[in-house]
Amino acid sequence: MKHLVVVGNGMAGVACVEHILKRRSDINQPDFEITIFGDETHVNYNRILLSMVLAGEKSADEIVLNDIEWYRSNNIRARLGVKISGIDRESRTVIDEEGRPTPYDKLILATGSSAFIPPIPGVDKENVHVFRTLDDTRSLLAKARKGLKTVVIGGGLLGLEAARGLQVRGCEVTVIHLMDSLMERQLDATGGEYLKRRIESLGIRVMLPRQTAALFGNGHVDGLRFATGEEMEAELVVIAAGIKPNTGLARGAGLEVNRGIVVNDFMETSDPDIFAVGECTEHRGQTFGLVAPLFDQARVLAATITENRGPVFSAPAPAAKLKIMGVDIFSAGSIDETETGVEVVRYEDPALGAYKKLLIKDNRLHGMILVGDVEDELVYMDWMRSGTDLAPLRRQLLFPPASDLGLAVADMPDSETICGCNGVRKGEIIHAIHQHGIKTMGQLKQRTKASTSCGSCAGLCEKLLRAVAPGFEVETKTTLCSCVPFSYERLREIVRGQKLKSVEEVLAVYGNRKGCEVCKPALSYMLDMLWCGDHDEDRSARFINDRVHANIQKDGTFSVVPRMRGGVTSPDELRRIADVADKYQIPMVKVTGSQRIDLLGVKKADLPNVWRDLGMPSGQAYSKGVRMVKTCVGTEFCRFGVQDSTNTGIELERRLENLFTPHKFKMGVVGCPRNCAEATVKDLGFVGQEGSWQVVVGGAAGKSVRKADLLVTVETTEEALEAGELFFQYYRENGNYLERSYDFVERLGIEKIRKETVYAPDEEKRKLLDRLHRSKDLSRDAWLERDRPANATQFVEIAPLERSEPIGERQLV
Amino acid sequence: MIWTKITRMENIPPREGRPVKIGDLEIAIFNINGRFLTIENACPHKGGPLCDGIVTGTAVVCPLHGRHFDLETGMPVRASEPSCLAVFPTRVEDGIILVDLTAGRRAMDEAAA
């Protein structure tokens, strides 16, 4: 068998090997014994996603493309952490740094590129980094800390992504760039200006144009000096000034090299047994830094090397997308508007921060810049790829009809690449859908890796899936809000992983720094739940009801509902309630539907005194939290009762009271199936039967009416209480904010909920209960703030220090 | 300018508002991370107490029905809202918030005038 040696264990080299392996199954194909050398000690990972690792959006494990098992099962010898230092073309061997030879029949050079380090004095100082590999990322992560003065040299894709990643880690980041405009290779000056504004609004400083003359400091870097003589302080410097192909090995072996290793259309070098692929190559005078063309190269080379020489590589139009959450930038094709015959169509809206520029040549889309509004990216890319005649579409260029896209997918040939980042073609996706019965985007991503990198092909993938998969299922993925554009699930991971403890921190790092009435209360809930109450509570992020622990009414007064566990009260409590109603001239006293008493029309300033005089705990009737347990009289008085519903209800209320939930949480416990306290239309209900309890969840009798699902039937009251607690905590942890239990149960399905609560392994159950009990231990009756207010003016209307002339409505000018 | 001393700045927690009554005028003073802004307290829609609203940037959201008003200009954030509110010049001196109660301005009135 022939021996194939691949020098370089990166995306292009391994992609090529994958294509060679795919051809293995075909008879009559030459088979290879394969050895891959990688100078990094890691398996092949998705380099494009390093910025997401830096930002904490993905872990290092999550960006692995080929795990060690892949090498093993494909009989590939992986020599990781081994650097090849020479090629002896005469004897067809490669030699590693320690002088050990490895013979080859065919050799692929996939040596990639390295960070270009400009010749500036001082770049060798400590704390000056580049950002190119997983190890670089790890050493940056080790240095990053809150308030660290960080300068990123380079305002291109990589520099901006590195800047955002470090800022997310708490560093104070400044980006300096040699040019007048950011990302000048992908954007024009206007686009660059929009981008700059957006980057600055995230809290990153941008300084343009700045030429760095030197880095100074004693041993480690202390700052930068610009060509103008101006200086700035820096504790950490990241150089992201571009890349240069790694050509040393090829040059040493006497291969033809210019800027990169010169390859022809078949990816052959000047030696018939040596090939090259990836960022180390130069094809027709062009070198490469974006991933999509490299996958095309890999495919062409796989054909050439397996004696199927025929497919040729032609560099596709460049397309680049900035991977910073909330900063939408897309650029593709030629953006040179001075080119002859190019017409420009432009649109901008400064208020929206949106800028679109389309370059049209011969009525075909020739290039585009999209800033702040990339919704139509797929339609445009399709126009560009397919060379759509735009003459009939001239009136719709800036806001193209989205319906075009479905047809576009159907028309695409199977060989067309759908996912540029991972090199997945339409045919492969269709094949995978049929072969594995894929129904959802999640499954599609898992099987094909399509849309797992930058995500810009997600729309295209979904259209394809919708068209091809017989049982297509929409995945509901709700983004919290545009202030923090992540799904709830992702946010929970972020908050947990990044150990964020306050709403302000989350908004500063992952959001727009402002927040709004939608996301602030949701984040408040999430922090309280995830940290079991041990977070930095920020009252300003709570709705007024949760600032003053009462329910605001239409006239700005409040309603007060004391806790009356299980709906059981006493003459003493009733007397106090009556006295309070008199003393504070409360306009209405009303029995609620929840077996409690509501005092309506209380002034904010009276709240602490009303609570004190009542001497009862808060009933939380104002919050997204535990409301009450409605009970019937059960075995205590009822002649039909078979279970002690009253005391069980009181105990259930005691165990869960004072806790927050995604939405209000109402419970009911009934002593027999007559269901007098309507337990089967509550979020959690216990229905007593002779010798057992049915625990039911997800019931509703409000805007929606829904009969609760049976979670489990148990014999003892203690078991019922534990089942209730398990569901309660599970809903707290997995429910989206403002999602009632009845929507939650329908979204997840009762089977899944059973499996992960009452039928979960004991260890899992214990963990759920532990977290619940930890939260419970830190929770307390909110009305105790009557004596220890959260701040001096929590309930107070401020009286001015000075009297001044009262001024009337009419006097306003 | 006629400045009236209102209260110590620490009486208004960050990103919250507090109501102040002066004669028949009721204002709400907000602490936008150390910057104090003053607006009429009653939402023009149904009179909701803006002092109790959640702050988003330099705007406040009425707690009753979610109308947004900019605290710097008094203008509604959504163009469809027909009314605006008066805002009052506000400054801090020796830790005390001062408001010029005589200089309340409604931006839309000005535009109409």
Residue A357, in any domain of the structure: no
Strands A551-552 and A558-560, sheet pairing: antiparallel
Confidence class of residue B111 from pLDDT cuts 50, 70 and 90?
low
Quote the radius of gyration of chain A (alpha carbons, Å): 33
- From the list A792, A804, A808, which residue is nearest B11 (CB)? A792
Give me the residue from A541, A543, A798 closest to B7, CB to CB: A798
Asked if the C-beta of B56 comes within 8 angstroms of chain A's C-beta atoms, the answer is yes
Asked if A798 and B29 come within 8 Å (Cβ–Cβ), the reply is: yes
Residues of chain B in contact with residue A514, where contact means CB-CB under 8 angstroms, are 56-57
Using the 8-state DSSP alphabet, how is residue A164 labeled?
A: H
ipTM value of the model?
Answer: 0.94
Q: What is the CATH number of the domain that holds A141?
A: 3.50.50.60
Domain count, chain A: 5
Same structural domain, A85 and A133: no
pLDDT band at B24 (very low <50, low <70, confident <90, very high): confident
Q: Is A387 left (phi over 0), alpha (psi -120 to 50) or beta?
A: left
Q: How many CB atoms lie within 10 A of CB B32?
A: 18
Which amino acid, one-letter code, is at A207? M
Query: Residue A314 burial (CB < 10 Å; 0-12/13-18/19+)?
Result: exposed
Does residue A334 form part of some domain?
A: no
CB-based contact B7:B31 (threshold 8 Å): no
Interchain CB contacts (distance < 8 Å): A and B:
115
Angle at CA of residue A177, ends A176 and A179, nearest 5°: 150
Q: Which of A522, A542, A562 is the last residue of a domain?
A: A542
Look-up of token digits 């163009």: B79
Per-residue DSSP letter, A315: P
For the stretch B37-60, pLDDT in tens is 999 999 988 999 999 999 999 999
A642 & A580 share domain: no
Confidence at residue A254, expressed as pLDDT on a 0 to 100 scale: 96
Q: Does B109 touch chain A (CB under 8 A)?
A: yes
Instruction: Answer yes or no: do A233 and A253 share one domain.
Output: no
Query: A552 and B52: CB-CB below 8 Å?
Result: yes
Q: Supply A543's token pair.
A: 């709705």
Reply yes or no on whether the pLDDT at B107 is more than 90.
Answer: no
- Please name which of A81, A380, A371 lies closest in space to residue A198, comparing C-alpha atoms: A371
The reply to whether residue A541 touches residue B54, judged by beta carbons under 8 angstroms, is yes
Residues of A in contact with B14 (CB under 8 A): 540
Of A360, A306, A363, A368, the residue nearest A331 (C-alpha): A368
Q: Is A397 exposed, middle or buried (0-12, 13-18, 19+ CB in 10 A)?
A: middle
Number of H helices, E strands in chain A: 25, 40
Q: A346 forms bridges with which residues in the sheet? A: A357
Residue A491 falls within a domain, yes or no?
A: yes
Q: Which of A521, A801, A812 sits opposite B104 (nearest CB)?
A: A812
pLDDT of residue B88 exceeding 80, the answer is yes
Whether A648 and A774 share a structural domain: yes
Q: Which residues of chain B are within 8 Å of residue A812 when distances are taken between CB atoms?
A: 86, 104-106, 109
DSSP-assigned letter for residue A125: S
Question: How far away is chain B from the Cα of A524, in angstroms, using its nearest Cα?
Answer: 13
Does residue A344 form part of some domain? Answer: no
In this prediction, residue A463 carries a pLDDT of: 81
Helix (H) or strand (E) holding A444: helix A441-448
* A634 and A741, same domain (yes or no): yes
The burial class, CB within 10 Å (0-12 / 13-18 / 19+), for A315 is: middle
Among A563, A594, A618, residue at a domain's last position: A618
* CB-based contact B101 A804, cutoff 8 Å: yes
CB contact under 8 A, A807 and B29: no
Specify the pLDDT at position A810. Answer: 44
> For residues A236 and A127, is the Cβ–Cβ distance under 8 A?
yes
Q: Quick one: pLDDT at residue A478?
A: 66
In terms of CA atoms, which chain A residue is nearest residue B17?
A540
Q: Are A447 and A432 in contact (CB under 8 A)?
A: yes
Distance CA B36, CA B30 (A): 5
Cβ neighbours of B6 in A, within 8 Å: 798, 800-802
Query: Do A74 and A200 belong together in one domain?
Result: no
Residues A298 and A170 in one domain: no
Q: Give dist(CA A627, CA A610) in Å, integer.
A: 20
* B105 at A interface, C-beta within 8 A: yes
* A797/B64 CB distance under 8 A: no
User: Does the reported pTM lie above 0.80?
Assistant: no
Q: Is A438:A447 a contact under the CB 8 Å cutoff?
A: yes
Are residues A721 and A662 located together in one domain of the fold?
Answer: yes
How far apart (Å, rounded) are the C-alpha atoms in residues A594 and A627? Answer: 9
Which residue in B has a C-alpha nearest to residue A544's C-alpha? B52
- Coil vs helix vs strand at A318: coil
Q: Per the domain annotation, does A536 fall within a domain?
A: yes
Q: Among B7, B53, B61, whose Cβ lies nearest the Cβ of A801?
A: B7
**Per DSSP, which regions of A440-534 are E strands?**
479-481, 484-487
Nearest to B24 among A554, A555, A808 (CB): A808
- Is B53 in Cβ contact with A544 (below 8 Å)? yes
- Residue A647, domain member (yes or no): yes
Find all residues with CB under 8 Å of B113, minimum gap 6, and list them: none
Domain contains A95: yes
A553: CATH: 3.90.480.10
Answer yes or no: do A793 and B21 touch at CB < 8 A: no
Q: How far is B40 from chain A (nearest CA, A)?
A: 10
Contact A806 B109 (CB under 8 A): no
- CB–CB contact B55 A552 (8 Å): no
Rounded to 5 degrees, φ, ψ at A91 are: -95, 5
Contacts of B92 in chain A (CB under 8 A): none
pLDDT of res. A813: 44
Quick check: A804 and B4 CB within 8 A?
Answer: yes
- B18/A contact by beta carbon, under 8 A: yes
| Residues A546, A623 contacting (CB under 8 angstroms) | yes
Residues of A at the B interface (Cβ-Cβ below 8 Å)? 483, 514-517, 520-521, 538-544, 547, 552, 554-556, 791-793, 796-802, 804-809, 811-813
A184 and A88 assigned to the same domain:
no
Report residue B55: phi and psi, to 5°.
Answer: -95, 135
Residue A466 belongs to a domain: no
Residues A590 and A651 in one domain: no
Give me the average pLDDT of each 10-residue run along chain A (813 residues): 94 93 70 91 88 82 85 91 94 93 96 94 95 93 92 95 90 95 94 92 92 94 95 96 94 96 96 96 92 89 92 88 81 91 92 90 94 82 85 86 62 77 83 87 81 72 83 70 83 83 88 90 96 94 97 96 97 97 97 96 96 97 97 94 96 97 97 95 96 96 91 95 98 94 93 92 94 96 96 92 60 48
Q: CATH no. for residue A682?
A: 3.30.413.10
Percent of chain B surpassing pLDDT 70: 93
For residue A712, the one-letter residue type is V
**Which pLDDT belongs to residue A113?**
95
Distances (CA, A) of A559 to A579, A606, A610, A661, B109: 16, 11, 11, 20, 37
Contact (CB, 8 A) for A626 and A656: yes
Nearest by Cα to B29 from B65, B1, B4: B4
Residues A516 and A569 in one domain: no
- Measured between CA atoms, how close is A741 to chain B, in angstroms? 25
Based on the domain organization, do A769 and A651 belong to the same domain?
yes
Domains in chain B, start-ordered, CATH in brackets? Answer: 3-112 (2.102.10.10)
Expressed as residue numbers, the domain containing A679 is: 626-780
What does the pLDDT read at residue A27? 59
